[in-house]
């Protein structure tokens, strides 16, 4: 699996009861999207909710804690101060556009 950024936007298929649950579900969706054996038509399979856990168990995927100030996902999910936005943007290789160019 090569990244956490997906080029689609969609609503989750469940109503999460916590941020942790929402992030877990999204991690499962992203992991399945990267694996061609899973697709939109097989999402009803109950195993999908535990796909990430299974991949971690097999040592094919690892998870690690990311401090809030280093969380790149905040670029796309939170309103940020200009300095924080620029700092996180630089970490993913985004550059600022100069006025008049």
Question: Angle at Cα 35 formed by Cα 30 and Cα 41, nearest 5°?
Answer: 80
CA dihedral 37→76→19→52, nearest 10 degrees, is: 20
Give the integer Cα–Cα distance in Å for 99 and 66. Answer: 33
Q: What is the pLDDT of residue 23?
A: 81
Q: What is the pLDDT of residue 1?
A: 44
Q: What is the pLDDT of residue 77?
A: 87
pLDDT at residue 2 tops 70: no
Query: What value does the mean pLDDT take over residues 11-24?
Result: 72
Residue 52, burial from CB neighbour count under 10 angstroms (0-12, 13-18, 19+): buried
In this predicted model, what pLDDT tens digit does every residue of 34-91 receive, in sequence order?
665 655 665 555 556 677 778 888 898 888 888 888 888 888 888 999 999 888 888 8
């Amino acid at each position: 699996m090569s990244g956490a950024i997906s080029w689609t936007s969609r609503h989750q298929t469940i109503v999460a009861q916590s941020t942790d649950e929402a992030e877990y579900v999204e991690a499962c969706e992203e992991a399945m999207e990267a694996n061609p054996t899973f697709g939109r038509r097989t999402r009803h399979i109950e195993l999908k909710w535990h796909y990430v856990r299974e991949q971690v168990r097999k040592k094919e995927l690892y998870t690690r804690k990311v401090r809030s100030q280093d969380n790149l996902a905040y670029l796309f999910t939170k309103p940020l101060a200009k300095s924080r936005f620029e700092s996180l943007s630089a970490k993913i290789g985004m550059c600022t556009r100069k006025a008049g160019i």
